[in-house]
Chain A
Amino acid sequence: MSSRIPLPYPRKVLELFKNPKNLGRMEDANASAVAGSLACGDMIAIYLKIDEGKNIVEKASFESYGCAANIAAASIMTEMIKGKRLRDAWNISWKEITEALGGLPSVKYHCGVLAVGALRRAIRAYFKDKNLPKWLPEELTHEEKHALEEEKLMELLYRKNDSGKV
């Protein structure tokens, strides 16, 4: 097969891969979003239960179709935002996620980016029928654009290589 990357995952990645925290669809979520695509082989779903009065993330959970780093990134992010004000959750960066995991190989940075993209989409979805808070930018952030690009890539690839087979 094609060339492989050495994957000296930090211990934390393997730990969360084996026992992911906050895994699974959340039935009482009041905000959720999916980011990523089949084409790239990574996809993250984020579910949030937001305290509407206090604008605080009460609970967060995830599902992931992706590599071990992808699963660990989504899992640790849900840990990091639990109990946080929405505005602070919004500001979590992919670099903080990568650091919390103990570092990732550079080709896996996009796992953190995708996790943040999914989270921001969920927060944006939460405010869909509400007044946008001042801290929430109208323009899509880099991480949200990254998710969009991945999804567009899938369309492009399929148009180019549409075989109709599985």
Chain B
Amino acid sequence: MDMLDKGTEDLLEEHGKPRREVYLDSENSGLIFPEALDEMVKYYLELGYGHPSITHKVGWEAYEALIKVSKLLSSFIGCKPDEIHYLHSGTEANNVAILGLAKAYKGRRKILVSSIEHLSVIYPAESLRNFGFKVVKIPVDGEGFLDLDAFSSLIDSDTLLVSVGLVNHEIGTIQDVKGIVEIVKDKDEQILFHSDASDALGKLKFNLSDLGVDLATFSSHKVYGPKGAAALYIREGVKVEPILFGQLSTQRLWPGVENIPAIAGFGKAVEIMYNNFDKFHSKLKTFRDRLIDGIFENVDHVFLNGPKGEKRAPDNVNISFLYCEGEAITVELSLRGIYVSSGSACTSRILQPSHVLIAIGRKYEAAHGSILMKVAPMHSIEDVNYVLSQLPQAINRLRSISPLKP
């Protein structure tokens, strides 16, 4: 029976309406600042709804919006407005970065990516194997930090590109990208460095020129902006060939009509994050630690995935619950109004558990029982307390169903 033919109305009716809803799946998108949405609506209905390349008023307004966001974004992340290129998603930006560099630079044929990168970094790199590239995954330690000795030995004169994310999307590891770039550039200044910084934007303060990266990816939905916008920083002088072609655009790498409302909403979201940085940062860390500590106090047989403390992203909670399976946890928590994701194979199309958790050495059952929760500035302490009141019961119920016992 093909389930895609069916709607989900029946399912949702059975699901029912929980008494409180807490959305903790910002990894996979969802929450938006209302101000960012207002900004979008403005650019759909009031001004700038034209094409920014066309010579009329609403076109000029659209162009003005684009420039405004580039100036704003660049002021927060330490680059020039011209170095920001817009794309539709973090996934697309990572693809354009890796495939575009491979097209632009002839000769070198080796790409190094950390073994815990987002799949939108790993897969495009691996797709280049068909074109004579060698792709090597850099090992990490049990908390996701790059194994620097192993890394150093992998860099050679054939290396075109190194891609290491600033903050890991799943386990929150904050990588010493500056130090890693130094290792690379000390060996060979010509090697290019890309960093997926999607999980760093708005949640950490950093400066791109200080980090020394050549390319960096940012995604709108990860700063509680709208879906459908992302930015790729390309340092002046670095060549990236387009992989998409079309007619008319202000954006060399984005042919077609720019999504001005989404870009405007993205800009607004970044502005909100950095204008409230200290307040949000401390709030996120408080919620994160309260969740982690509360779970460890009330549930046995749990493991924290990723580092603790200052080297962990302020919003990231990733915990493995042994003796129960992650997909079942996501459904059980959903019935209680708590929305999370899992690294379990059962939530993946290919039925493989999270490559990140396997790369940090977690056993399969720990990966299958893992839950990723991301706290957000719009959460309240009551939300966090509600999660802590429900989660132990949810895990206990699933463990009571399981034939596996401690």
Residues of B within 8 A of A151 (CB): none
Please determine whether B325 and A165 come into contact, CB atoms closer than 8 angstroms: no
A105-158 at interface with B (beta carbon < 8 Å): 105-107, 154, 157-158
Given A17-B331, A23-B401, A99-B1, A165-B7 contact (CB < 8 Å): no
For residue A9, give the distance in angstroms from its CB to the closest CB of chain B.
6
B301-330 at interface with A (beta carbon < 8 Å): 303, 320, 322-328
The answer to the question of B257 belonging to the interface, with a C-beta cut-off of 8 Å to chain A, is no
For residue A6, give the distance in angstroms from its CB to the closest CB of chain B.
8
The answer to the question of A71 belonging to the interface, with a C-beta cut-off of 8 Å to chain B, is yes
Residues of B within 8 A of A50 (CB): none
Residues of A within 8 A of B225 (CB): none
For residue A88, give the distance in angstroms from its CB to the closest CB of chain B.
23
CA distance A41 to B14 in the complex (A): 25
Given A63-B403, A66-B346, A166-B366, A1-B325 contact (CB < 8 Å): no
Given A3-B349, A163-B363, A63-B331 contact (CB < 8 Å): no
CA distance A24 to B320 in the complex (A): 24
CA distance A50 to B178 in the complex (A): 67
* Number of cross-chain contacts by CB at 8 Å: 151
Please determine whether A15 and B346 come into contact, CB atoms closer than 8 angstroms: no
Residues of B within 8 A of A70 (CB): 325, 328, 346
Please determine whether B349 and A68 come into contact, CB atoms closer than 8 angstroms: no
Cβ-defined partner of B8 (8 Å) among A8, A15, A71? A8
Given A11-B10, A166-B363, A166-B366, A5-B27 contact (CB < 8 Å): no
Most buried by B among A23, A66, A161, A163: A66
Please determine whether B4 and A41 come into contact, CB atoms closer than 8 angstroms: no
For residue A76, give the distance in angstroms from its CB to the closest CB of chain B.
14
Residues of A within 8 A of B372 (CB): 1
The answer to the question of A83 belonging to the interface, with a C-beta cut-off of 8 Å to chain B, is no
Cβ-defined partner of A65 (8 Å) among B320, B348, B366, B403? B403
CA distance A46 to B248 in the complex (A): 63
Please determine whether B364 and A1 come into contact, CB atoms closer than 8 angstroms: no
The answer to the question of B136 belonging to the interface, with a C-beta cut-off of 8 Å to chain A, is no
CA distance A5 to B170 in the complex (A): 18
Please determine whether B346 and A42 come into contact, CB atoms closer than 8 angstroms: yes
Please determine whether B348 and A5 come into contact, CB atoms closer than 8 angstroms: yes
The residue on A at minimum CB distance from B369 is: A41
Please determine whether A11 and B364 come into contact, CB atoms closer than 8 angstroms: no
Binary interface encoding of chain B residues 1-45 relative to chain A, with 1 for a CB under 8 A from any of its CBs, else 0: 111101110110111000000000001100000000000000000
Cβ-defined partner of A161 (8 Å) among B1, B28, B350, B358? B358
The answer to the question of B142 belonging to the interface, with a C-beta cut-off of 8 Å to chain A, is yes
Please determine whether A65 and B170 come into contact, CB atoms closer than 8 angstroms: no
Residues of A within 8 A of B252 (CB): none
B325-361 at interface with A (beta carbon < 8 Å): 325-328, 331-332, 335, 341-356, 358, 361
CA distance A116 to B381 in the complex (A): 46
Please determine whether B404 and A71 come into contact, CB atoms closer than 8 angstroms: no
The answer to the question of A57 belonging to the interface, with a C-beta cut-off of 8 Å to chain B, is no
Please determine whether A163 and B348 come into contact, CB atoms closer than 8 angstroms: no
Given A14-B14, A34-B403, A71-B328, A2-B6 contact (CB < 8 Å): no
Residues of B at the A interface (CB closer than 8 Å) are 1-4, 6-8, 10-11, 13-15, 27-28, 119, 142, 169-170, 303, 320, 322-328, 331-332, 335, 341-356, 358, 361-366, 368, 372, 400-404
With A2-B119, A8-B6, A41-B325 already in contact, 8 other A-B pairs whose C-beta atoms are closer than 8 Å: A3-B348, A38-B363, A41-B353, A41-B364, A65-B325, A107-B349, A157-B364, A158-B364
Q: Which 4 A-B pairs have the closest CB atoms?
A: A103-B1, A41-B368, A67-B327, A63-B403
